């Protein structure tokens, strides 16, 4: 099992915390953000971790050293995370977890992803208050995802995405190929979920419910304060 962590962005909304360091190294409680992810991956038995770096990438390399492998996105300032994912295409030939670097989450989230039905799954929180503009998810009783998008109406959605996914090797290749198609079509400003379309159309992407487990996304200073106070203390040190 492999993991890809997307960590190339500038994190402008976290300024001044990101003025001289990448988002993944911003302290959250007692640890840098990325340590929560690496700890959860260790708990899930994942030792092969690839980090896509960009902004202040040398600081990430200096901090993490040889614990992980690296892919560099030199165009981090003008592209979205779909492009970072595309640059990691050579790594998308195995069963893998795909993570955004700004999510703090309990290790049990990965275990539930592993136990989810079907070959591919996205972690979702049915207990989250659905909000327009968040990454919302629609699916039925069979848990097959019908749509996942920030444009998805809350009236159509059933849960909020935790923005962590698990793919089989075949699923990873399908996402890889769709990401390449989107980038070739000059759609470098979309989210990686846009590359999940073929899996959704084939009925091969499932929802893994993780509501009730501690998790939080850090996009803003308010998010940072909330996650540091309410989520980080509940995450075990792996």
Residues of the chain with pLDDT under 70: none
Task: Give the ranges where 116-219 is alpha helix by DSSP (H).
Answer: 169-184, 197-201
Cβ distance 10 to 18 under 8 Å?
yes
pTM here is 0.96
pLDDT at residue number 188? 77
CA-CA distances (angstroms) from residue 175 to 34, 44, 107, 136, 237? Answer: 24, 22, 24, 19, 32
User: How many domains does the structure of the chain reveal?
Assistant: 1
Signed CA dihedral, 150, 154, 158, 161: sign only = positive
β-strand 27-28 against 31-32: which pairing, if any?
Answer: antiparallel
pLDDT at residue number 27? 96
The CATH number of whichever domain residue 70 belongs to comes to 3.90.550.10
d(CA 2, CA 41): 9
pLDDT at residue number 136? 96
pLDDT at residue number 186? 83
**122: Cα separation from own chain's centroid:** 10
Which structural domain, as residue segments, surrounds residue 186?
A: 2-234
pLDDT at residue number 237? 80
pLDDT at residue number 80? 87
């Amino acid at each position: 099992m492999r993991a890809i962590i997307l960590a190339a962005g500038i994190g402008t909304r976290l300024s001044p915390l990101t003025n001289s360091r990448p988002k993944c190294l911003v302290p959250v409680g007692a640890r840098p953000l990325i340590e929560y992810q690496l700890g959860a991956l260790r708990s899930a038995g994942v030792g092969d971790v690839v980090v896509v770096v960009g902004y202040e990438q040398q600081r990430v390399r200096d901090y993490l050293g040889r614990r992980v492998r690296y892919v560099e996105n030199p165009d981090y300032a003008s592209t979205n995370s779909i492009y970072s994912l595309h640059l990691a295409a050579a790594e998308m030939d195995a069963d893998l977890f795909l993570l955004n670097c700004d999510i703090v989450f309990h290790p049990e989230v990965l275990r539930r992803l592993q136990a989810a039905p079907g070959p591919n799954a996205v972690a979702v929180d049915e207990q989250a208050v659905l909000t327009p503009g968040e990454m919302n998810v629609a699916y039925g009783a069979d848990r097959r995802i019908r749509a996942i998008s920030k444009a998805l109406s809350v009236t159509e959605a059933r849960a909020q995405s935790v923005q962590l996914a698990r793919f089989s090797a075949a699923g990873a290749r399908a996402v890889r190929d769709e990401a390449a198609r989107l980038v070739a079509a000059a759609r470098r400003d979309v989210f990686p979920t846009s590359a999940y379309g073929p899996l959704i159309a084939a009925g091969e992407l499932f929802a893994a419910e993780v509501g009730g487990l501690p998790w939080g996304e850090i996009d803003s200073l308010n998010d940072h304060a909330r996650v540091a106070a309410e989520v980080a203390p509940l995450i075990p040190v792996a």
